[in-house]
Structure 1
Amino acid sequence: MAELSPIQPCLWFNDQAREAMEYYVSVFPNSRITSIDEYPDESLDEHFSGMSGKVLNGQFTLNGVDFVCLDGGPQFTFNESISFVVACRDQEEIDRYWSRLSHVPESEQCGWCKDRFGVSWQIIPANMNELTRRPEQIRVMMGQKKIVIDELVNA
């Protein structure tokens, strides 16, 4: 088992932890799956019924940020109260992440999107605070789904 970072997010999936890790490392540069520990064979203990081969503890890194995840079943699901901020250099980077991560159009607002696993992301320019200093800029941002930098600059 790899050494844990002092603080890191843990994502609880129903049964898609492995698929999610593989997907996320394909989206972000400098990313990798560090380790995957599976639930033991269910024949060894009735507590593991239906969990054999699923992820008990997955560790992965997305562009230098360490995460852990697990397949825990359907008891808990993701919601918008937690999101991950992706600070982007330019519009091209915003567009690239948006096209890969946004899968729920009705959840899009102000640079927030939801991926196919239900995880919320904020895909924003690294200088968002500079682009939302004036009331006109904030009004424009509030009407955007994906952030369009030029619209904020020209507001």
Structure 2
Amino acid sequence: MQKIVPHLWYDKEAKEAAQFYIGLFENSELLHVTVLEDTPSGDSEIVSFKLAGQEFQAISAGPYFTFNPTISLMVACDSVEEVDVKWRALVDGGAELMPLGEYPFSKWYGWVRDRYGLSWQLMLVDEGQTTQKITPNMLFSGESCGMAEEAITFYTEIFDNVEVGVVSKYEPGEAQSAKAKVKYADFNLYGVNYSN
């Protein structure tokens, strides 16, 4: 059983969104739907599902919280065609955050907000590169800019099954903000990879 499960908050669309995502990934399924009655948000629907073998939960609990790009799901794609197919599905009714194209860190990449507001980064990975299919990604910007490494250190202090991977830092003058320190880092909590 997955120890840490990403939990997604929707106004009323949790089940609809989960079914849409399930259609995009192999080895995906709806696990169960539970209704919590008479919560402060009224009746709230909790949806448990798997995407590419990884567990997720979603809740329909009113318009009190909305997604923003500080949390996104990074998808490791095996081909340009896979990136393109997922991109077309996710951008339909959504919005482009970074255009689909070639970047210094990936031969084919795009960042998109889907019709439900959830942010996805689609990236072509090199052949033979073994990686988790969907990696929760945290963006430290605004008031939290420069705090990525501090956050990883904090997680290693409170969780007992943590592995820190790559921590790639900006060279002097390379970042757009003087506060920014880490351009990319990854870590593993209880067997699940995360990045920022």
Q: Same fold (TM over 0.5)?
A: yes
- For residues 44-102 of structure 1, the C-alpha deviation after alignment (integer angstroms, 9 at most, x for no partner) is xxx467x34x41x2110001111011112111100000000111111111111111111
Which structure carries more helix by proportion?
1
Residue 60 of structure 2 corresponds to which residue in structure 1?
71
Q: CA RMSD in A?
A: 2.1
Which structure carries more strand by proportion?
2
Matched, 1:119 2:108: no
Identity %: 35
- Given that 1:108 and 1:114 are in contact with CA atoms closer than 8 Å, whether structure 2 keeps it comes out as no
CA distance in 1, matches of 2:96, 2:123: 18
CA distance in 2, matches of 1:94, 1:64: 19
Normalising by the residue count of structure 1, what TM-score does the alignment of the two structures yield? 0.68
Normalising by the residue count of structure 2, what TM-score does the alignment of the two structures yield? 0.55
Residue 90 of structure 1 corresponds to which residue in structure 2?
79
- Candidates 10, 29, 32, aligned match of 1:32: 29
Matched, 1:7 2:21: no
3-state SS, counterpart of residue 23 of structure 2: helix
Letter in 1 for 2:86: Y
Q: Which has the higher contact order (CA 8 A, sep 6+)?
A: 1
Identify unmatched segments of 5+ residues in structure 2.
100-108, 130-196
- For residues 2-60 of structure 1, the C-alpha deviation after alignment (integer angstroms, 9 at most, x for no partner) is xx5201110000111111111111111110010110132x5xxxx467x34x41x2110
